[in-house]
Every structure is written in C-alpha cells, then in structure tokens.
Structure 1
Amino acid sequence: MSTTGIKIAPMKKVATLGKRKKSIDADDVKKIDKKDEFDPNQFYVSLTSHAEQFGVEPVRIRWGQKEPDVRGPIIGTNRHHKYRNAIGAHGGSYCIYRGLAVASGAIATNSVPDLSQTTPAAKIGPHPSWSDPEKIVTIDPFGACVVEAFPEHFQKGYDIRPTIAVTKAHMDFPEIHEAVRLGRLKPDGKILKNSSQLVITKAAIDPVWYLPGVAKRFNTTEANLRQQIFQETNGMYPELVTRNDLKVFLPPIGGLTIYIFGSVEAISDPTKKLAVRVHDECNGSDVFGSDICTCRPYLAHGIEVCVQTAQEGGTGIIVYFRKEGRALGEVTKYLVYNLRKRQEGGDSAEEYFNCTQTVAGIQDVRFQALMPDALHWLGITKIDKFVSMSDMKYDAIVKSGIEIVERIPIPEELVPKDAQVEITAKVFAGYNGGDVYKVDKEKLKQVKGRDDNAYDDEE
C-alpha cells in the first residue's frame, strides 16, 4: 500500500472496454486539492453530511449510462469526503476490519492501493445489460476495470477502488476426483486436467446498490427503503436519510463469487450451451460436510454438470452468494436446527419451514429478486441447464428476461439420509422435482430426520 498517491495499472493482459472515444473532456474532471484530503489528525467529527452543504460536491453518478466516464466512478473511500458519491464503505462485510487495522496502527488511514498488475485476467463485457438500469442495480458493471474506465479521475488524484476482481485458478474438488474415477468425467487436459484438477476463471464481486433500482425491485419507495435500512441498523448509516442526493449504497453484507468452467466468451452467445447453478452459501455443508441438508451434494453435482457442458463446447457457471442460512445467518440457522430436533415428534418435513418461522419470524430473507444481476453482468440471455429446483430462483431469473430451457434436480442418490426432511419439505412447498421427486401430504407427514439423542448414541 502507498500513501503518496494512486498508482495506475498498465493495461496488460486484458482490456475490457477496448478502444473508445472519450465522452467527457479531461478538463471536466476536477483535480484533487490537498486541502480536500482527509486529515487523520483532525479532532472534529461530523456524524453525518447533508446535500447542498458547504464543501460537498459529490462526483455525479448517472446509473445505466453506457460510457463509464459519463456514468461516473463510484467513490466510497474517506480520503475525499467532498467528492464521495456513495454511502457506506468499500469491502462489504470486511469494511470494519479496516477500522481495526487503522486503530491498531497496522495501516495508515490515508493509504491507497497499488493497482499495478491487478487488471482482469479475462475479458467479461461490456454487455448491453451493463447500460440497462433495470437489469443491474446491485453491482457496478465497471467494477473490475476502474483503471481502464476512469483514467482521468486517477490522473487527477481520485481514490477509486475496484469492486470486482477477475482471476484464473485451479480447483481441486474431491467429488470431481470421484467422478473421474467412476468414469462419469474424463480429463481433457484443458478444462479437466489429468490430475482431476479443474482450470477455471473466477470473479469476486462486492455489492454496490443503486437505491432507486433496489427499491423498485421490491415494489417500495426509495424513501421507505432508506428509512427501514437506517432504522434496522440502529442508525448506522444516517446519510441514508440526510443525503437523498447520494443514490449509491455500499452495504456491509457479503458479496458473491462467480466460477466459470470453459469459455468465458461463450457465456453471452445463445447458440452455445450454458449450464448454471446459483448457490447460496451453507458453510456447514459446503465446507464441513454436514449431512442435514443437500447443499454440498447439489453444489458438487452442479460443478459436474458445468464441467460436462464446458467439455461439450459450452460453458458452466456457479454463482456462489454469501447468504448463509437463507441470509438469516449461521447463529439463527443453528437455533433452528436445535428446534427441529427437539420439537415434539422430532425433526419432520411437515414442520421444516415452521421451525424457521418460529425462531426467525420469517422463513427466508435471501430475496432472489436481486440475484439475477450477476447473470446480467455476465451477459447471459439463455440458460440451457439450470441446476436448481428452487422456484424462487427460477421465477426471479425468468422475470428478469433470461430464458431457462431445462431444470435439473439433484439425483436422489446424492441426498443424505438426514436431508430427506429438507428435500421433502421443499418439493411440497413448490420446488421443482421434475420426474424425480413427488411429494403428497401423506409423505410430508411420514418423513422424519435424525433423533436429537442420536448424536450421543452414534459411534
């Protein structure tokens, strides 16, 4: 990290935007004055700011504009309060750790990143959806290529941070090794190595909310959305109510990661086959193998379908959202587990959703209406194989204008015994089981999970 100024990365490897005519004059971008820099030694603290107040000149954001320099950069750092145009801070749920780092003296508050050699490892976009304000409201489409998109601002001293990073990697997944061993997958040396490792492209994305667009997705007003977030975070973001001129919010929540198998270029080509699984985080199962749900088995199956599709000349995509416990959190999820096992009659499919309702007051807060933004950022218009049974995800994607050709349920043999409660309850509630799963009221009542005392009795 440097404290002397932003280093501009040379455009090596990949140019996302390519050659384009400048839409604004360099003179239209104000140069940063040293007196506008944040002084870490000042003792005066302002609890909030107001529109039209002296010394406030946020860089204008025109959400949905095709040209990035017309759209304007997202500025969410504390170095230039005068020009800041976003509420919140960069880093999503990790922004608090920067405060700890500054408090402990581990980093200077005015340090800035050296972005040299950090440009995307693969070209994603631009796509027509990037300039459609209805398609993307929770991601900055230009978040991966800020240096390329806003050179005039960098040259004049603005502290602009990427909100997307694109890199390449090798993935080593035990279930893929097993699929190779059993002959379901065969190494091709390019997508699937002889070592059974996978070669992938992946993109990490921090949320950037355009508040008018988010409000519209939930059929509410921007004013109501601002008010409720302000109140439910105990006044954490007063600018939500004092700065109606700031339309961009950097929420302190988890983002998402996109894993791409095969050709990146083929993603937006509707003539090429595309397999997609949208997966919401379940740390207990995805990482540690808990058998109370189908999360890891379905994730592994999704990866296998993605690899098969890529080997056939298409592309496979896993979109992994940080929405632990249906976005209610892991503590709430474990409380629900306890209730499920201890309730009268034991863990049952019939009471599966009621248990969450009892503990959390609601069954699900993942709000899939925002989820398709990631697919639109990739330029997706058609999904040939949707590896999901979720009616909520399916409905949200189709409503956003993306065609889904086939829905693929999790094979029965992959469902753990204790996860029969989950899969049965979900199919009865509306999940699409295709020809694999059929659930009536009688079966719903019959399916039971592991007893509460089984954890002590089992060897």
Structure 2
Amino acid sequence: MEKFEVSNQAKLPTRFGVFFIQSFRELKVQKDCPCPVEHLVIFTQNLPEIPLVRVHSECLTGDVFGSQKCDCGGELAIAMEKIAQSVEEGKGGMLIYLRQEGRGIGLFNKVNAYALQDKGYDTVEANEALGFKSDNRDYSIVGDILHYYGLKKIHLLTNNPRKIDAMSQYVEVIRDSIIVPSNCHNEKYLATKKSKLGHLL
C-alpha cells in the first residue's frame, strides 16, 4: 500500500511573493480507521541544491487568528519572508506545512490544554495532564517529502533540537535560527520551550 499521494502543482501568489504549492496526502491508520492527513508544501519555482526549509506544524490559533499565546504565527510569517528573500539572493526554498495541530494532539485537545494554561499550567504540564507527551509529532512524512524533491542537504529554519535530530535522519542539516519577539502573553510559553523542550532561544 502506498504511504502517500501527491497532488498536482499550482501557483500561490501571496503577500510575500509568488510560490508554488503541492499537497501530500498521507495515508495513515488511526484507531483502526483509515485517516488520510493532507499536508501542504509551499516552494519557490527554482529550488537550489541546498534550499532554505521551514518544517511548520499547523497552529490554527496562531497562524490564522494571530494568537499571541505562542510564537507560531510569527514563525510562519518570518519563514515565508526569509524564503521569499532567498529568491532575490538567487536561491530559494520551501515551507512544509504539517497538519499536526497542538504539537500532534489535535485542535480539540489543544483547546483543552489552553484551558489548563489559563489555570496556571505551562504548555508541557497541560499536554501531560491530558495524557499526552510534551510533543506528539511525527516527522516521518517529511523524509518522504524531502526525498520526493530530491533534497539531500537543507538550511533548516528552527530553534527545536528535536526537529534538527528528526530531519538529520533524512538529510544533512544546517540550522538557521528563527526568533519571534516575545510578548506578555507568551513569555512563559517561550521560557518553557527553552527550559523543558530545549529550544535554542
């Protein structure tokens, strides 16, 4: 059985520039039921041998609604800006948008985790109180995506050492930092990412 299906390519004009998009439909089995998960890859027309890459996990509250409880929406915007700028420098890159809401626990559980954070739990404590790991994400599909585009070495936009380790299973990784300014709503969140999850902030 195939692990994934790939859509056609299409143009995506954005406020950052014109990109191309392609969707990867991951064929998973969850709770004994077929459950396809559809990821999105946004990339520049010409990919260099060593592109700038952001592997971004979906955050509906931050990416779409501008939540200031996290740094996700800011990271997404900075990544798109940097990838667009790299084109002007004669390079290029891609953003792999993974449908792994709430570090892999889903939107429903993420909202419940938010409710616990309102009561004083930090982001790790909230996930664990709901019976999840601090980070439930699976990056195996990223290996397939990078292989599909023939990539062997990337500049990875991340502060997450676990993500660096995960990507290093598939390609050679050079880390580029991506820093979003803190605010009064996410100071504790960012401090927890640094102290408990080892983020390079």
Report if TM-score (shorter chain) is over 0.5.
yes
In the TM superposition, 1:47-446 aligns within 5 A as 86=1, 138-139=3-4, 143=5, 163-172=6-15, 176=16, 198-208=17-27, 232-233=31-32, 236=33, 251-264=34-47, 266=48, 269-270=49-50, 274-342=51-119, 346-347=120-121, 351-384=122-155, 386-400=156-170, 402-411=171-180, 413=181, 415-433=182-200, 437=201
Q: 1:375-414 CA deviation, whole Å, 9 max, x = no partner?
A: 2211111113x211122211111122x1122331314x3x
Residues 310 and 431 of structure 1: CA distance in aligned 2, closer, same or farther (over 3 Å): farther
Counterpart-to-counterpart distance in 2, 1:283 and 1:299: 11
Counterpart-to-counterpart distance in 1, 2:73 and 2:97: 12
Q: Residues 164 and 175 of structure 2 are in contact (CA less than 8 Å); yes or no, is this contact kept in structure 1? A: no
Q: How much has 1:370 moved relative to structure 2?
A: 3.7
Residues 333 and 263 of structure 1: CA distance in aligned 2, closer, same or farther (over 3 Å): same
Counterpart-to-counterpart distance in 2, 1:370 and 1:261: 20
Counterpart-to-counterpart distance in 1, 2:196 and 2:148: 31
Counterpart-to-counterpart distance in 2, 1:166 and 1:254: 18
Q: Residues 332 and 360 of structure 1 are in contact (CA less than 8 Å); yes or no, is this contact kept in structure 2? A: no
Residues 388 and 326 of structure 1: CA distance in aligned 2, closer, same or farther (over 3 Å): same
Larger relative contact order, structure 1 or 2 (CA cutoff 8 Å, min sep 6): 2
Counterpart-to-counterpart distance in 2, 1:408 and 1:314: 18
Provide the identity percentage.
23
Q: How much has 1:262 moved relative to structure 2?
A: 4.3
Q: 1:331-375 CA deviation, whole Å, 9 max, x = no partner?
A: 111111111112xxx35xxx4312111113332321224432212
> When the two structures are superposed, what TM-score results if normalisation uses the length of structure 2?
0.89
Counterpart-to-counterpart distance in 1, 2:136 and 2:183: 25
* Aligned residues between the structures: 201
Counterpart-to-counterpart distance in 2, 1:382 and 1:282: 26
Q: Tell me, which stretches of 5 or more residues in structure 2 are unaligned?
A: none
AA of the residue aligned to 1:333: K
Q: Residues 262 and 314 of structure 1 are in contact (CA less than 8 Å); yes or no, is this contact kept in structure 2? A: no
Q: 1:214-259 CA deviation, whole Å, 9 max, x = no partner?
A: xxxxxxxxxxxxxxx57x34xx4xxxxxxxxxxxxxx413221111
> Could you say what the CA RMSD is over the residues aligned between the two structures, in angstroms?
2.1
Runs of 4+ in 1 over 4 A off after TM superposition: none
Counterpart-to-counterpart distance in 2, 1:261 and 1:370: 20
Counterpart-to-counterpart distance in 2, 1:425 and 1:379: 36
AA of the residue aligned to 1:263: N
Q: Tell me, which stretches of 5 or more residues in structure 1 are unaligned?
A: 1-85, 87-136, 144-162, 177-197, 210-228, 237-250, 438-459
Q: Secondary structure at the match of 2:26?
A: coil
From the CA coordinates, give the structure whose radius of gyration is larger.
1
Counterpart-to-counterpart distance in 1, 2:198 and 2:94: 21
AA of the residue aligned to 1:204: S
Q: How much has 1:295 moved relative to structure 2?
A: 0.5
